[in-house]
Amino acid sequence: MTITESDDAVVRTAAPRVVSGRKWNPSEAVQSAKSALYFRDVVGQVQHGRAGFGLFPKTPLWHKATSVQKRQLVVEEVRRQEEGERHAKAVSMAKQGRWTNWEGLEKKRLSWRDIWQMEGARLSFVLRATYDLLPSPQNLKEWYGEDPACSLCKVPASLRHILSGCTTSLTQGRYTWRHNQVLRELAAILEQRRTTTNNLPQTLIGQVNFINFVPAGQRQEHRTISKDASILQSARDWKLEVDLDKKLVFPPEIVATTLRPDMVLWSPTTKLAYVVELTVPWEEGVEEAYERKKEQIF
């Protein structure tokens, strides 16, 4: 697009023929993206989800965009179309496409840096677990005709059964161990932030960045916002209790209760308290686990 849409006629005629793989043609992909963007101009801005009018990200119209913006729009549209084709193909797969039913999950994008820094065995487990390619008893039955029974509870063992549905594993505390390992990581990070915040000077308490309204005819003043700004900045006496290795007793200075959340973070001076309840469910059961936990708390 940089060459074929140049203002110089000589440059436009010198555009090379881009050759790629057999299953994808750049020229066809660019033309398809341009057609989709032109059609979007005809349809207009479409509201998505439950957001009100004006809350969706605004993108420039194709016929009003500059050459640089057009190239960016085409790149984004090509990526969107490729992702749509990949998702449509995944939906047609009964097993490897089961991840399309996962709702309420934050998408994890693995960069090349993340992949290279991750251990080989861990990366292999993550990818094969996502597409249900691990040698579970149920898969071994389909591949080699072996016994699909779980070695612990003797019921047909799928990947979901092994990771979050075996009653024997639950009784033996295997799922509790996994839950506590995740909780330890979260508690260590939060404890580090808590200690760092409590050691900060008292003069920084209460510094909150408000919305800067700009009067008509004036320009907005760009201010650098600290990346470390968090809810902990409002106090210097944060306390943390974690339900690990011993039974957590809910701080009586907050409320007298027999409930035992996974973590309690509170400040006596500001009278703020944050209760953290962790669950490590199967991906398709996130919403169900959320409702169950909420009923236990309230």
> Do 19 and 72 belong together in one domain?
yes
Instruction: Say which residue the tokens 């004006």 belong to.
Output: 54
Residue-number span of the structural domain to which 149 is assigned? 112-172
Say how many domains are in the chain.
3
d(CA 260, CA 243): 7
What sign does the dihedral 73-77-83-84 (CA atoms) show? positive
**pLDDT value, residue 110:** 81
DSSP for residue 272:
E
Q: Are strands 272-276 and 263-267 parallel, antiparallel or unpaired?
A: antiparallel
As a whole number of angstroms, the distance between CA 153 and CA 255 comes to 41
Query: Which residue among 172, 193, 219 closes a domain?
Result: 172
Residue 48 pLDDT class (50, 70, 90 cuts): low
The better pLDDT of the pair 166, 207 is held by 166
- Residue 108 φ/ψ, nearest 5 degrees: -100, 115
Of residues 85 and 204, the one with the higher pLDDT is: 85
Do residue 182 and residue 163 come from a single domain? no
Both 37 and 120 in one domain: the answer is no
Whether residue 149 sits in one domain with residue 200: no
Of residues 252 and 230, more confidently modeled: 252
251: left (phi over 0), alpha (psi -120 to 50) or beta: beta
Does 245 share its domain with 137? no
Question: Is 291 found in the same domain as 179?
Answer: yes
Within a domain: 146: yes
Same-domain status, 66 and 128: no
Beta bridge partners of 263: 242, 276
Q: Is the residue at 218 inside a domain?
A: no
Q: Is 4 contained in some domain?
A: no
| Domain assignment of residue 75, yes or no | yes
**Residues 2-15: pLDDT tens digits?**
888 888 888 888 87
User: Is residue 224 scored above 80 in pLDDT?
Assistant: no
Residue 32 belongs to some domain of the structure: yes
In a domain? residue 209 = no
Is 184 in the same domain as 288?
yes
Residue 25 resides in a domain: yes
Domain assignment of residue 53, yes or no: yes
**Residues 80 and 157 reside in one and the same domain:** no
116-159 confidence digits (pLDDT tens): 999 999 999 989 998 999 999 999 999 999 899 999 999 999 99
Which pair of structure tokens corresponds to residue 229? Answer: 């700004």
Q: Do 168 and 132 have their domain in common?
A: yes
**What's the CA gap between 263 and 279, in Å, rounded?**
12
Same domain for 180 and 268, yes or no, is: yes
Q: What is the pTM of this model?
A: 0.70
